[in-house]
Structure 1
Amino acid sequence: MIRLEGLSKIFNTVNGQVAAVENVSFELAAGEICVLLGPSGCGKTTTMKMINRLIQPTSGKVYINGRDTDEVDPIELRRTIGYVIQQIGLFPNKTVADNICVVPDLLGWDRRKSRARAAELLEMVALDPGTFMKRYPRELSGGQQQRVGVVRALAADPPVMLMDEPFGAIDPVNRGVIQDEFLRMQKQLRKTVIFVSHDLDEALKMADKVAIFRAGRLEQIARPSQLLANPATPFVETFLGSDRILKRLRLVRVAEAMISNVDVVFPGDPVAKAGQLLKASKHPAVMMLGPDGRVSGIVSQEQTAAGNGTCGDYATPSRVSIPVLADLRNAVALMFANGMSIIPCVDDDGKLRGALTYLSIVQSLEMAEVST
């Protein structure tokens, strides 16, 4: 969908020529998000702005859907590419609806069609059209303005979006909410997105691919899991940080790491049965199910030492569980917070689907590293 070939930009300054971007090449498939990441002055924003020709390349080519962008009028090109910036740039004298519809109006869309599109997009970012369509930017919070800025870029249904640190000025709580809403929209809309960020955690959360820049050069482009498992250069390894293994926990779902064939007992079963199951499996505990199929307790190896009585007599009530779609970072946090060496993994209905242990987490990370 987007292909960069040998893209370079040299600026002439009073001190001579400065290479802001040097020979950058990569390809992004339709529907993918690529986050450009790196220290200040590394060339990531210049690279992005050459895609819509806000900055004219010195050399190299940009292709969008197979078409050389040099052959397209720059104004026409920009009207087919959504653009979101950190400063948002809403027109203060226009209503929210008119701000969203700037490009559709320039393209000559029917007014009813464009306003219907604006209402549809506002609903997608949890802003009620009946409340917000007629408001002005000054009547919105910073987070609400940022959401309007995002949907404005989507109004003409462009296949490509460029986003320059779009959530950088938002407080951490609202930033997480807007990120989640954008990812939810992306699942439905499948835009091809180039996203500039300075935040590694944001990049790992948002990206299908991460491109790390240094001094105008592309050091590595890879999927987040591949990047964290196999940094290509010493600079990339340093940039990712010494805790990059912990960062990988965010990228792995509980369902990928859990033990799916976990043994279970019921309250009326002899506690000796739990002991036999644990001896065979070497797991730290066995799950006890209630009649509804949900975990009602956990029987540990120590609790089976009594030998007599039922599982219901000795089980520790199950305090917490983790959804199978959660990430391992959340799971490990729960396990540490509650002093649990094993945690039940459940579906949306709360039914047991597996169990997670520290060993299963380590093994899943090792397998992921081998596969990448």
Structure 2
Amino acid sequence: MIRLEHLTKVFGAPGSGVTAVNDVNFEVPAGEICVLLGPSGCGKTTTMKMINRLIEPTGGKVYIDGRDTDMIDPIQLRRSIGYVIQQIGLFPNKTVAENICVVPDLLGWDRKKSRARAAELLEMVAMEPASFMERYPKELSGGQQQRVGVIRALAADPPVMLMDEPFGALDPINREVIQDEFLRMQETLRKTIIFVSHDLDEAVKMADKIAIFRAGRLEQFSTPDRLLANPATPFIETFLGSDRTLKRLRLLRVAEAMLAEVDVVRREDPVEKAGELMRAKGYPAVLMLEPDGRPGGVVSGDVISGGQASARSGTCGDHAEPIRAAVPVEADLHSTVALMFTHDMPIMPCVDEDGQFQGAVTYRSIIKSLSIPETPA
């Protein structure tokens, strides 16, 4: 757990200096990622560097797991905290294994133990130890170097990590891959992380909590969902952008918008049954299930309202269009809406990992799931 109490930094002479961080208070529970976000010069990096005392506070306190960091030797403190920067900072004259083991070696770890740890971490980021342990940084791609920089911070198994725009220099594809790998590791490792970013989409994806700064002050501290739903000030509303509702779709799962008790038809049912369901339930279309419980087709409103007499007779199987896509219940709503637009599907079947039908989402059910939380965090 990291707790900041009245943390303040003034650069320059007392009374005439520049206040970079002004009376910041927040707490990050153990095992969570807190992203510090805000415009350039707002104090987010200075705040992060005061946690490991790379910058000494002018006032206030930082506590890590209840310990006042002022009472800890700065060198000892920094060796107990993982640190990742955008520029990576690998030693060019050291191998990948030696770079990863810098802190374990300083802490006096047995060489066999530290190299085993390096191999374990390389495997976690999909880099085969036998192929990469003895390479030098210049022999790695930019994305591979960034992976090594991240796992180097994990080598001594620190409970706390500080990350200063760690993925900012990567191209979008590599950044997305490494973000996903890091989140997968975090599910297991549960480190307490302060993460500086200038990218709102990255913050929404990575954070358990977001702290938005402006001119050295903490403007709002909240979960990503509540932040996007309830910006506390006009500045934050402007900073988040007019599309903040769309950004929330990444945070919500299909299960949160799914109609679990949706009425369906079978292949042998008369097509008029689909029409009755649309009229009675307000469905934009009706899903047809196969005997094995999988979605097999969709009867659209166009069929039911079609002018031809044949559209109103026959079975659902005669008129159903093939299912173009289905979404897992654990998928996010952002990707779901993209599929619905791509395939022109106003109703989307939701399935479990075995492809069995679980429910459906519609545009209306998604809008309902975006209702603003009652109280801000």
TM-score, length basis structure 1: 0.97
For residue 66 of structure 1, what is the aligned residue in structure 2?
A: 66
Amino acid at match of 2:353: D
Distance 1:19 1:130 in 2: 50
* Percent identity of paired positions between Structure 1 and Structure 2: 73
Distance 1:328 1:336 in 2: 12
Post-superposition offset of 1:323? 1.9
Distance 1:104 1:215 in 2: 38
Distance 2:323 2:345 in 1: 10
Post-superposition offset of 1:272? 2.2
Post-superposition offset of 1:199? 0.2
Distance 1:319 1:265 in 2: 17
**Match status 1:338 vs 2:372:** no
> 3-state DSSP class of the match of 1:369?
coil
Amino acid at match of 1:327: D
Distance 2:92 2:15 in 1: 40
Distance 2:123 2:319 in 1: 51
For residue 77 of structure 1, what is the aligned residue in structure 2?
A: 77
Amino acid at match of 1:335: M
Post-superposition offset of 1:302? 3.5
For residue 285 of structure 1, what is the aligned residue in structure 2?
A: 285
Distance 1:371 1:126 in 2: 41
Post-superposition offset of 1:276? 2.6
For residue 324 of structure 1, what is the aligned residue in structure 2?
A: 329
Distance 2:97 2:290 in 1: 53
Amino acid at match of 2:355: G
**Match status 1:369 vs 2:370:** no
**Match status 1:19 vs 2:23:** no
> 3-state DSSP class of the match of 1:115?
helix
For residue 7 of structure 1, what is the aligned residue in structure 2?
A: 7
Post-superposition offset of 1:202? 0.2
Amino acid at match of 1:175: R
Amino acid at match of 1:370: E
Amino acid at match of 1:348: E
For residue 192 of structure 1, what is the aligned residue in structure 2?
A: 192
For residue 303 of structure 2, what is the aligned residue in structure 1?
A: 303
Post-superposition offset of 1:201? 0.3
> 3-state DSSP class of the match of 1:356?
strand
Distance 2:45 2:13 in 1: 19
Post-superposition offset of 1:186? 0.2
Distance 1:344 1:160 in 2: 42
For residue 347 of structure 1, what is the aligned residue in structure 2?
A: 352
**Match status 1:212 vs 2:216:** no
> 3-state DSSP class of the match of 2:238?
helix
Post-superposition offset of 1:14? 12
Amino acid at match of 1:349: D
Amino acid at match of 2:53: R
> 3-state DSSP class of the match of 1:316?
coil
Post-superposition offset of 1:128? 0.8
Amino acid at match of 1:4: L
Post-superposition offset of 1:83? 0.2
Distance 1:122 1:203 in 2: 25
**Match status 1:164 vs 2:169:** no
Amino acid at match of 2:373: E
Q: How many residues align?
A: 371
For residue 237 of structure 1, what is the aligned residue in structure 2?
A: 237
Amino acid at match of 1:315: A
Stretches of structure 2 that go unaligned for 5 or more consecutive residues are: 306-310
- Match runs of 1:92-241 below 5 Å: 92-241=92-241
> 3-state DSSP class of the match of 1:50?
helix
Amino acid at match of 1:309: G
**Match status 1:274 vs 2:278:** no
Stretches of structure 1 that go unaligned for 5 or more consecutive residues are: none
CA distances 1:276-306 after superposition (whole Å, capped 9, x unpaired): 3333322112111123321110012332453
Amino acid at match of 1:37: L
**Match status 1:312 vs 2:328:** no
Distance 1:29 1:15 in 2: 35
Larger CA deviation: 85-94 vs 278-287: 278-287
Distance 2:148 2:332 in 1: 29
Post-superposition offset of 1:271? 1.4
- The 1:16/1:370 distance shift into structure 2, 3 A limit, reads closer
Amino acid at match of 1:120: E
For residue 49 of structure 2, what is the aligned residue in structure 1?
A: 49
Post-superposition offset of 1:15? 11
Distance 2:260 2:146 in 1: 42
Distance 2:175 2:154 in 1: 19
Larger CA deviation: 105-114 vs 44-53: 105-114
Distance 1:333 1:219 in 2: 33
Larger CA deviation: 305-314 vs 17-26: 305-314
Amino acid at match of 1:301: G
TM-score, length basis structure 2: 0.96
Distance 2:136 2:301 in 1: 63
Distance 2:82 2:68 in 1: 18
Post-superposition offset of 1:98? 0.8
